[in-house]
Structures are given as C-alpha cells and as structure tokens.
Amino acid sequence: MTDTKSDILGVLNKYKIFIGIGVAVVISIAAVTVTFVKAKSRKDETAWQSMWRINSDLAMAAQAGKTEKDKNEALNNAIESFEYIEEALASSGTTPWILFQKGNVYYELKNYDEAIRAYNDFLQRYSGHPIAFLAKQSLGYAYEEKGLLEEACNQFNDNLLSNKVFLLAQQGWDAGRCYDKLGQKENAILNYNKAVEAEPDSIWASLSRYRLSVIK
C-alpha cells in the first residue's frame, strides 16, 4: 500500500509544472522594455539595467551543458545582486519584480522557506500588482514542495487565480493534485472536474481526466 501511494505521488509530481527561471526572465525582460520608456530617473534606469544583466546571467546558466555547480553559483550570485539592488537602487517600480525574482531563485535553489518569505512579502505589499497572481501561484508551489499541502490548496483556490479565466484549468489541476496527495478524494474530484470543464483540450484537462479515471 505504501509503495502504491509513493508511486501515485511520484506521478503527480512528475506532471507538476514547476516554476521556471526562464519564464520569470521573459516576464521581467518584457517589463524592462516598458519601464525603460517610462523611467525618468537615473536610479531607476540603473536598477532595471542591473536586473536585465542578472536575468541574462541566469538564462545563460540554465542552458544545456552547464553543471549543477555552475547553475547554483549563478543562482546564489543572483540572490546577492537582487538584495543589493533592493537596498541601494530599488523604487516602487522595481521592488515588486525584485521580490518576485528572489522568490523564483530561492525556489530553484530548493530553499522553499526563503521563497515563501519572498512571495508573501510581495503579496503583502503589492497585492494589486499585475503579476500578483503569479506570485500567488508560485507561493502555492513552494508550499507544496514543503509538504504543506493544505496551505498550497488555499493558495491555488485563491480569488487572485480564480479571477484569471486563462488559469482556471491549471488552477483546477494544481488544487486537485494537492487534494489528491492529501487523500481528500471529493475535493480532488471537484477540482479535476473544474480543470476539464474550463479547458477540455488543455494538458491540465488531460492530466485531470487521467487522475479521475484512477480515483473514481
């Protein structure tokens, strides 16, 4: 029985979409492009340029052929750089992105406590920011990695995600997966069905249908 449960959890984790530094890099670069046009102070410009360089370094470190040591070194260097920018150069425009990126980097380092701290800091200070829903989703993943599945479910079911129509299928899969791990069959089925109904042709719906066929 224990082996079977371990196999199930392994499958669920295999098909979990982890936070990718690459995604954060793309988002940040897009933000930089817009912000450069609007930036009026040299301090802001320097902060965005620094963030651009950090993200470029992270993207290079993530390329094939790099060793785990190289990647971790780049991630740790990024944390130090983000903290310097936050202290010396950050403004109301750059701070949310710094906090979000710090959370992502800590997540990649498997330092989930610090990732949770960074995402929560972001959400407490910038709950109305355009990428607040990404911070909320990322917070759910960090809680899940920590094994705090009830808290992960709370994040995945939050209105910040429910209000994003394009995220409903993924939200259903994420919440359903965590309820599945908790052994809460009814809640798992409810959320898997949400994923199927929201976007029937999506990968989230396909994964949810598979789990529904197993646990029903």
pLDDT tens, 24-73? 444 444 444 444 445 446 667 777 777 777 777 777 766 655 788 888 88
Residues 6 or more apart whose Cβ sits within 8 Å of residue 212:
189, 192, 193, 196
Residue 186: per-residue pLDDT: 96
Residues 6 or more apart whose Cβ sits within 8 Å of residue 61:
70, 71, 73, 74, 75
CATH class of 17-146: mainly alpha
Domain residue ranges in the chain: 17-146
Specify the pTM: 0.78
Burial 8-17 (b: 16+ CB within 10 A, else e): eeebbeeeee
**pLDDT below 70 — which residues of the chain?**
1-43, 61-65, 90, 92
| Alpha carbons 41 and 78: distance in angstroms, whole number | 24
| Alpha carbons 140 and 175: distance in angstroms, whole number | 9
| Alpha carbons 216 and 205: distance in angstroms, whole number | 16
Nearest to 42 by CA among 89, 85, 5: 89
Q: How many CA atoms lie within 13 A of 140 on its CB side?
A: 28
Phi, psi of 173 (to 5 degrees): -65, -45
Residue 10: per-residue pLDDT: 57
